[in-house]
Amino acid sequence: MAVASLDRKLSVLILHGPNLNLLGLREPGIYGVSTLAQIDTRAIELGRSLGVEVTPLQSNHEGVLVDTIHAARDCHDGIIVNAGAYTHTSIAIRDAIAAVQIPTVEVHLSNIYKRETFRHHSYLAPIVVGQISGFGAYSYELGLQALIAHLREGTANAGDRSRG
């Protein structure tokens, strides 16, 4: 896992799961009209304004998401993940996040608890720092702000412990 230091810019990976490449076209009444490119641009700009490097990646393939999570150990301090439908089905993505031990925030555009019953269960929720859902495209920005605060608090606390 990458370790944040006070002299190095934090790095956050944003992972988008299946069908999120169709945002803006796919069921806009549920997912909104923002495109994935617009969400990524806003997250990158927010990260820049907060002194954090943001790297987005979208894949419809579970293995690509798992491989990307594994690779994140060497270069990212935190992960924002919207695993899409894999949230409710993928033990592999859950296990990858647990294995790398990188602080992760789960986000969803819609409120998954107001939708079909099968969407109420998240394999990721028990192992992530927190979950944000129901705020449309702003879920990513809220998740990013929360993750950055969590990472910076952890870095400050780690510094306090080292002075001990």
CA distance 74 to 101: 12
pLDDT in tens, 47-67: 999 999 999 999 999 999 999
Question: What percent of the chain is modeled with pLDDT above 90?
Answer: 73
CA distance 127 to 155: 20
Which CATH code fits 10-159? 3.40.50.9100
Q: Which sequence spans correspond to the domains of the chain?
A: 10-159
Which position among 16, 76, 86, 108 bears the catalytic label? 108
Active site residue 108: yes
Active site residue 113: no
pTM of the model: 0.87
Residue 149: the pLDDT is 98
Which position among 31, 86, 123, 140 bears the catalytic label? 31
pLDDT in tens, 31-43: 777 899 999 999 9
DSSP classification of residue 75: T
Q: Which long-range contacts (CB under 8 A, 24 or more apart) does 110-117 make?
A: 110/30, 110/31, 110/134, 110/136, 112/87, 115/30
What's the CA angle centered on 103, arms 129 and 160, to 5 degrees? Answer: 100
